[in-house]
Amino acid sequence: MIIDYNGEKGGAAMEAVMERLTTTEAAIAAGVSVPQINRIIDEKILPEDLYSTSPTRSFRTDAALLIAFYFETADWLTTNARLETIRNARAHCSTWEEWRDCTIGEHYLTIRFSELWKTVDERLHMLSEAREMVVEDPEILS
């Protein structure tokens, strides 16, 4: 069986564009709900170095890809298979650009993250553009 997320190469280094994501931003980037994002932390689904709870909940950029993978493959893979795939993938892929071409093979199963990477990368770029539109000015609304 092959789970193929083939996509095009492109995009700036997202780690440089957006270092941390709020829970809402992580939900948008991963294409899931905010309660699902909170579940990731509450149930300790992802390794703790991918998120922070102090002073507020936030996520590393690459966590959005793994969150999307975890929830999008729930109908195809068991929880243990998804968690093992995440562990194995993290051992081989550590930067945002490496995730683009990350492929993990286990026995009869091959998982390619490229198409999912492309989707999450596009959402992250939209979030980055939205952040740039926000103006913080002490003269506005006190």
Q: Is 34 within a domain?
A: yes
Return the number of other C-beta atoms located less than 10 Å from residue 18's C-beta: 18
Residue 18 lies in a domain: yes
**Cα-Cα-Cα-Cα dihedral sign, residues 69, 70, 74, 80:** positive
Domain count of the chain? 1
Q: Is residue 72 part of a domain?
A: yes
- Verdict on whether the full-model pTM lies above 0.75: yes
Residue 71 in any domain: the answer is yes
Per-residue pLDDT of the chain (142 residues; tens, 9 = 90+): 444 444 333 444 444 446 799 999 999 999 999 999 999 999 999 999 999 999 999 999 999 999 999 999 999 999 999 999 999 999 999 899 999 999 998 778 899 999 999 999 999 999 989 888 888 888 887 6
Tell me the CATH number at 35. 1.10.1660
Residue 24 domain flag: yes
> Distance from first CA to last CA of the chain, Å, rounded?
58
Kindly state whether residue 139 falls inside one of the protein's structural domains: no
**76 is in which domain, residue-wise?**
2-126
Q: Does a structural domain hold residue 136?
A: no
Burial profile 69-98: b = 16 or more Cβ within 10 angstroms, e = fewer: bbbbbeeebeeeebeebbeebbeebeebbe
In a domain, 59, yes or no: yes
